[in-house]
């Protein structure tokens, strides 16, 4: 079924009408409505902060575009809305910013009222692959599942699967024109969007394919306290040596210690330098010929960590620039951390080279190759739609060196940089929802052209449902094939 206007309106109806209340206290939070005046006051703050502060303004679209966008948005607020309804509307605006670091979050009270340990949720888990929704089974292994693993779902609560996925595409933030990030999130976290889509209901109605027929099934939602993940996707390697605080794992994949696999789960700000010293010392000691860096599902983290990793790998010194249009947070009474932000600007000025142009300050930092244990042999990087932020920084610089081979799918972040650094949360005074707002544009100086796209792989992989259910690792298998081909 195509994503028509009627489908869009049907989903909006599901968003704005379906909410089941489990207690009077929760009812006050979940169903309380805010007047158009209150919503417009919050939206004016959202608009002012975005136009004064957000570093993407003028990058992909001119400022005038966003002024018009916000003006139309504010004009449209003619009816009273609940916090949830208003938050969804803000996500349409955020999607237009083309920034994966910007988002709107529920208020503290709303989060407490919808705590997953106290609210009914779907006991069935779902995933999205190739624009289709599939059942992964029941969260309890003891439960006899009426929806067996791999069953294709055609409708949930009367809404077609393709309409659900298309709608999610326009409320989930992502960098540039990238689509792999949305697909990746839908694959891993589709079940988590149930309450966002359907509210908190006592039951969920499913239409699914059974051979050539469409059958229907209704099941009750439950309070789920001890859910366990369903086995899905590449199997974890139990032999990996862990650096827990550094969020890294590694091991040699062969008896001769010629190929080392390094899984970086996140760019932790803690203990990473010590971990890198040990890992690259091993590579030097064994004269290892191949290094596989796994950045799949790595959502980023510390920029200093990423720079440290690059210092062991890049051929020549390279620069990285952070820019900002502010020296102080606008509308400070709605956020925290302004003093810390000013201190960081002072540190940046000392650690890097500051220049200014009109109302924009630029802070340029150098990434210099390390002499000790520098690695200059074969590098393979595994990437996917979950590779974001600092993962893209590392990937962009290795790509520019023509030194690494990339395997997987386009990264979730863009090759030219992102909007990140300090990211204060602005608490809107009436609805109390929080808008996360980046203060810096991180510019990858090795990628001066604006592409709106991520780092592209040299060898692209594509998972089918069977691949994921059989827990295949297509990227690592391809990496070993590339290594053997080079011998």
Tell me the C-alpha distance between 264 and 286, whole Å. Answer: 21
* pLDDT tens-digit map of 383-402: 999 999 999 999 999 999 88
Most trustworthy range by pLDDT among 111-115, 140-144, 307-311: 307-311
| pLDDT at position 290 over 60 | yes
Tell me the average pLDDT across 268-274. Answer: 92
| pLDDT at position 85 over 80 | yes
* pLDDT tens-digit map of 147-157: 888 999 999 98
Q: Tell me where in the chain the CATH 3.90.226.10 domain(s) lie.
A: 241-425+432-486
Nearest residue to 434 (alpha-carbon basis) of 145, 46, 117 = 46
Both tokens of residue 241? 């040596």
Domain 241-425+432-486, CATH: 3.90.226.10
Tell me the C-alpha distance between 310 and 404, whole Å. Answer: 12
Q: Which residue's entry shows tokens 């608009």?
A: 47
pTM: 0.91
Radius of gyration from C-alpha coordinates of the chain: 24
Both tokens of residue 391? 């993962």
* pLDDT tens-digit map of 217-229: 899 888 877 666 6
Both tokens of residue 296? 């799949």
Give me the residues paired with residue 291 across strands: 260, 379
Q: Which fold has domain 124-220?
A: Pdz3 Domain (2.30.42)
| pLDDT at position 21 over 80 | no
pLDDT, residue 142, reads 62
Distances (CA, A) of 268 to 89, 244, 274, 404: 33, 10, 12, 23
Q: Tell me where in the chain the CATH 2.30.42.10 domain(s) lie.
A: 124-220
């Amino acid at each position: 079924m195509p994503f028509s206007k009627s489908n869009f309106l049907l989903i909006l109806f599901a968003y704005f009408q379906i909410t089941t209340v489990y207690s009077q206290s929760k009812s006050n939070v979940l169903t309380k409505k805010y007047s158009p005046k209150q919503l417009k006051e919050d939206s004016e703050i959202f608009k002012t902060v975005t136009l004064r502060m957000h570093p993407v303004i003028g990058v992909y679209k001119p400022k005038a575009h966003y002024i018009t966008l916000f003006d139309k948005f504010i004009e449209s607020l003619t009816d009273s809305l609940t916090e949830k309804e208003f938050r969804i509307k803000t996500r349409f605006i955020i999607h237009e910013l083309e920034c994966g670091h910007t988002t709107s979050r529920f208020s503290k009270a709303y989060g407490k009222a919808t705590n997953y340990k106290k609210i009914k949720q779907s006991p069935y888990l779902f995933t999205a692959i190739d624009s289709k929704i599939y059942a992964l089974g029941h969260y309890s292994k003891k439960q006899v599942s009426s929806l067996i693993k791999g069953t294709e779902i055609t409708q949930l609560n009367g809404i077609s699967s393709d309409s659900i996925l298309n709608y999610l595409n326009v409320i989930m933030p992502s960098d540039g024109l990238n689509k792999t990030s949305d697909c990746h999130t839908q694959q891993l976290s589709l079940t988590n969007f149930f309450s966002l889509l359907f509210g908190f209901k006592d039951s969920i109605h499913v239409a699914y394919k059974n051979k050539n027929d469409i059958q229907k099934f209704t099941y009750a939602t439950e309070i789920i306290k001890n859910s366990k993940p369903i086995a899905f996707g590449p199997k974890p390697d139990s032999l990996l040596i862990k650096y827990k605080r550094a969020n890294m794992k590694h091991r040699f994949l062969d008896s001769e210690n010629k190929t080392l696999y390094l899984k970086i789960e996140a760019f932790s700000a803690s203990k990473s330098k010590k971990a890198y010293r040990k890992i690259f010392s091993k590579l030097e000691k064994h004269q290892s010929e191949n290094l596989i860096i796994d950045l799949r599902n790595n959502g980023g983290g510390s920029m200093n960590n990423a720079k440290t990793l690059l210092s062991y790998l890049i051929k020549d010194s390279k620069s990285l620039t952070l820019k900002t249009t502010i020296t102080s947070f606008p509308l400070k009474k709605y956020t925290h951390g302004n003093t810390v932000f000013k201190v960081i600007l002072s540190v940046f000025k000392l650690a890097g080279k500051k220049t200014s142009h009109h109302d924009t300050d630029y802070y340029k930092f150098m990434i210099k190759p390390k002499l000790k244990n520098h690695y200059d042999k074969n590098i393979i990087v595994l990437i996917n739609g979950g590779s974001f932020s600092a993962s893209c920084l590392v990937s962009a610089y290795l790509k520019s060196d023509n030194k690494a081979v990339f395997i997987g799918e386009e990264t979730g972040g863009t090759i030219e940089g992102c909007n990140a650094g300090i990211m204060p949360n602005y608490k809107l005074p009436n609805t109390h929802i929080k808008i996360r707002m980046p203060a810096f544009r991180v510019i990858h100086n090795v990628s001066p052209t604006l592409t709106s796209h991520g780092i592209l792989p040299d060898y692209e992989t594509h998972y089918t449902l069977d691949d994921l259910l059989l827990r295949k690792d297509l990227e690592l298998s391809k990496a070993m094939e590339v290594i053997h081909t080079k011998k």
